[in-house]
Amino acid sequence: MPLSNASQTALLQLLFENTAWANVGSAAGLQPSSAAGNFYVALHTANPGAGGTQSTSEAAYTGYARVAVSRASGSWTLSGSSPTTIANAAAVTFPAATGGSETETYFSIGLEASGATPILVSGPLTAALAVSAGITPSFAAGALTTTVD
């Protein structure tokens, strides 16, 4: 059985916006983290898949690093339900390429700045992005969009 629309929304708000999920267990509910922390956006040259990690087909151009985005309502936009759309609320800019050449086709949102860490969600880029020396991958607000059913 899938999550109800209300449960899906509350769970994603807890994860991405660090918002309490009221009335779970008690009126106080599931509380947000005292320090919200960050999620990390990664780029991929192929679909990392549901069983992949953030290092699966991860970008490897010289100068690349994952980008930290805070778990706050000003950082993520959640809309709709079943599916719920998750999008970046502000521009996400990766470090400039200083060498190498590759084409990025997917992004993922995960838990750590590096390593084979779990992916929370991923999705295709709206258009493939060729990256080579001098290119700074940047995505406007709302450009990194995925859905959760």
Q: Residue 29: inside a domain, yes or no?
A: no
Helix (H, G, I), strand (E, B) or coil at 82: coil
What does the pLDDT look like over 12-65, one tens digit per residue?
999 999 999 988 888 888 888 888 899 999 999 999 999 999 999 999 999 999
The reported pLDDT for the residue numbered 37 is 92
24 in a domain, yes or no? Answer: no
On the question of a cis peptide bond just before residue 95, with omega within 30 degrees of 0, the verdict is no
φ, ψ dihedrals at 16, nearest 5°:
-90, -30
Residue 145 confidence (pLDDT): 96
Cis peptide preceding 83, ω within 30 of 0? yes
In a domain, 84, yes or no: yes
Q: Is residue 39 part of a domain?
A: yes
10 belongs to a structural domain: no
* Residue from 99, 119, 98, 123 nearest 110 by CA: 119
Q: Is residue 74 part of a domain?
A: yes
**pLDDT per residue as tens digits for the range 66-120:** 999 999 989 999 998 778 999 999 999 999 999 999 999 999 999 999 999 999 9
Q: What are the Cα distances from residue 7, in Å, to 82, 95, 149?
A: 10, 36, 12
pTM for the model stands at 0.92
Print the domain residue range for 87: 34-148
In a domain, 12, yes or no: no
> What are the pLDDT digits (tens) for 95-109?
999 999 999 999 999
Domain count, the chain: 1
Is 112 within the bounds of a domain? yes
Supply 93's token pair: 């800019």
